[in-house]
Amino acid sequence: MKFNWVISGENDQAVQKACIDMEYRLRPKITKFLLKKLDSDFSGDFSIFHFDVDVKNHWVWISNKTPQRFIEKIKADFDQEINGGSTLFSVA
């Protein structure tokens, strides 16, 4: 699983730390989602999945670098389950 961090503004140490913190919260959440949505034709290789993360707006979307057949399987529920009502990006 690969993340493309969309950063507007300065990419300083605080932003890099925020990206690391977000990644530690995103990985298990997205992994559970993928395991629930994918069927037996999935080989278990999560490296084929690419996600873009807008750090400023706190939004994750499926990158078109992900194979189209998998995008089609997960896109319907992705936004609701990963972005909708999420506390993923809440700032303490």
Quick check: 85 pLDDT over 60?
no
Query: Could you read off the pLDDT of 60-80 as tens digits, one per residue?
Result: 999 999 999 999 999 999 999
Quick check: 10 pLDDT over 90?
no
Place of tokens 């706190």: 58
Could you tell me how many residues make up the chain? 92
Under 8 Å between Cβ of 83 and 33? no
Query: Could you read off the pLDDT of 23-36 as tens digits, one per residue?
Result: 999 999 999 999 99
pTM for the structure as a whole: 0.84
Burial class of residue 29 in the structure, from the number of CB atoms within 10 Å of its CB (0-12 exposed, 13-18 middle, 19+ buried): middle
**Percentage of residues in the chain having pLDDT higher than 90:** 73
Q: Mean of the pLDDT values across residues 1-8?
A: 94
CA distances from 88 to 15, 24, 39, 65 (A): 16, 10, 26, 23
Q: Strand pairing of 50-54 and 2-6?
A: parallel
Rounded Cα–Cα distance for residues 25 and 83 (Å)? 12
Rounded Cα–Cα distance for residues 38 and 92 (Å)? 34
